[in-house]
Structure 1
Amino acid sequence: MKILNKTIHFLALFVAIGLLTACPKKVTTPKTLLEILSKNWKVSRVLINGQVDNAGNYNNFRLLLQQNGTYAVTVGGAPVSVVINPSNNGKWEIGSGETQIIFDKGTANEFAVTLVEKTESKLTIRFKIPPSINKTEPEYTFEFVPAT
């Protein structure tokens, strides 16, 4: 009888442990790139041709990317050469292979930037200024962090 009681207790314990470990765990699905990028970003650093740009005032430069595919840029005191289009707002989308952001696709203002880093806490983009705007075609790298 003692063996039967011990066996029943052992089985009860085994079932209880099984039930506890079988409880559904909270599964978090990873965010899509659209979800990661869709926020208000502020400039943390700008490089021109690989050199930190200490001359430009980027303190108030903001890039708002929204999940509905619209964007808005607040230039603040930043140099005019970084304006995406004259109104600084429009449509944006993620390019094929998730390596680009394309602003105003299919319009005269279409502008693509390369995604260098794309995490929840940092967005880095790179682009060249076209020769029609600046004959030296400088390469800009913008490092952003979420705006608070």
Structure 2
Amino acid sequence: MKNLKHLFFLLAAICVVSLSSCKDDDDDVSPNVSLLTNGEWTGSAVFINGDDLTAEFEAEYGIDLTRYTSKFERDGKYVDKYAGTTMVEGAWEFENGERIIIFDKGTSTEYTVVISKLDEDELFYMQGAAEFRFIKKK
């Protein structure tokens, strides 16, 4: 009987330790969400039909891409800044197997981009005929 009592307390202790060491599964996110939201992205180039037209883009629009940043949060918010000044804030979400990002869904400013590359260091996406390239801000 004494051994049975010890066995019961041992099993109870194991259950308590096992349950308290479990983490909340709500924090689990896909690899693409982790890649996109792990830091700030800085503009680096604009390509159209495979040609680097960054200089022409900057001359036409007066935008130095290296001063343009995007920050995506896991809660679905994003902030775009130019030279440190917030230009746009809104909501983002993945669609189509996390290949498309929808910005500001259901609003008059909604638009989508198609991801052509996303890894730890680079984010490339197509918007119309232009491919915008970003690098991870160090």
TM-score band by shorter chain is 0.5 to 0.7
CA RMSD of the aligned region, Å? 2.0
CA distance in 2, matches of 1:117, 1:59: 19
Q: TM-score, normalised by structure 2?
A: 0.65
The answer for the alignment partner of 2:51 in structure 1 is 51
1:92 partner amino acid: W
2:98 partner amino acid: E
CA distance in 1, matches of 2:104, 2:124: 19
The answer for the alignment partner of 2:132 in structure 1 is 142
1:62 partner amino acid: T
- The CA deviation at 1:145 is 1.0
More strand by share: 2
- The CA deviation at 1:31 is 5.8
Establish whether residue 101 from structure 1 lines up as the match of residue 108 from structure 2.
no
- In the alignment, structure 1 segments of 5+ residues that lack a partner are 1-28, 77-86, 129-138
The answer for the alignment partner of 2:80 in structure 1 is 73
1:93 partner amino acid: E
1:116 partner amino acid: S
The answer for the alignment partner of 1:32 in structure 2 is 31
Q: Which runs of 4+ in 1 moved over 6 A?
A: none
CA distance in 2, matches of 1:59, 1:43: 5
1:124 partner amino acid: F
Percent of residue pairs bearing the same amino acid type: 27
- The CA deviation at 1:51 is 2.1
What SS does the corresponding residue of 2:67 show, helix, strand or coil? coil
User: Structure 1 residues 65, 30: CA separation in 2 closer, same or farther (over 3 Å shift)?
Assistant: closer
The answer for the alignment partner of 1:115 in structure 2 is 115
1:75 partner amino acid: Y
